[in-house]
Amino acid sequence: MSEEKTEQETVENTEEELEQNINEAEAEAEAVENEFDLLQTELTELKDKYARVHADFDNIKKRLEREKYTAVEYSNEKFAKDMIPVMDALDGAMKSADGDADKAERFDNLKEGIELTHKSLLTQLEKHGVTLVAHDEPFDPNIHNAVQAIDSEDVESGQIVQTFQTGYKYKSRPLREAMVIVAN
């Protein structure tokens, strides 16, 4: 009987262990399922967040593209506004030529108006980075175009003797080379 009792106790212990193992497995499965649900929720949230960030990025990209286009389209607006006083000066110079004064006085007024307009134009160009190419510097093939070379006792070799056409630079880049005669 004691063997039977021991066997029965062993079976009962095994059943209890089995039941305990099943309960532990069910608890572990439930924990894994809960963790899976949490991860699934987190994944959904991250996908949504990614979609929103991607949409925001696309919107910013489109807005920057529009702003770039607008900036390029209206990039010369400030320059154009600064040229209006030059046009006003030219209008004034033309009106002074039609005055009732004698020819010599009209000529002097016209000459003065043209000089003021020229000065105003140079000032506005310099304000926007456009400068004259210097004529009193040694010859520089990057900003000067030598159309002729002559012998000169007054000017040393490599120096500019005369300028045929004024050159212009925008900041450091040449817009138009100065056409010059260079001393040999």
CA atoms of 147 and 32, how far apart (whole Å) = 88
pLDDT given at position 8: 76
Higher pLDDT, 112 or 45: 45
The pLDDT assigned to 97 comes to: 73
Q: Are strands 168-170 and 130-132 parallel, antiparallel or unpaired?
A: antiparallel
Taking 90 as the threshold, does the pLDDT of residue 177 lie above it? yes
The pTM (predicted TM-score) of the whole model is: 0.59
Task: Compute the distance between CA of residue 12 and CA of residue 150 in angstroms, rounded to an integer.
Answer: 123
When pLDDT is cut at 50, 70 and 90, the band that residue 6 belongs to is: confident
Other C-beta atoms within 10 Å of 166: how many?
12
**Per-residue model confidence as pLDDT tens digits over 90-114:** 888 888 777 677 888 888 888 888 8
Please give the Cα distance from 174 to 172 (Å, whole number). Answer: 7
Residue type at position 139: F
For the chain, what is the mean pLDDT?
A: 90
Eight-state DSSP code of residue 145: E
Tens digits of per-residue pLDDT, 135-170? 888 899 999 999 999 998 888 888 999 999 999 999
The tens digit of pLDDT for each residue in 82-91 reads 999 999 988 8
Element (H, E) at 86: helix 77-97
Residue 114 to residues 45, 105, 118, 121, 168: CA-CA distances in angstroms?
72, 14, 6, 10, 20
Distance between CA atoms of 130 and 6, rounded to whole angstroms?
Answer: 109
Question: Over 70: is that where the pLDDT of 1 sits?
Answer: no
pLDDT at res. 102: 84
Taking the alpha carbons of 154, 160, 164, 166 in that order, is the dihedral positive or negative?
A: negative
Can you give the pLDDT at residue 127?
93
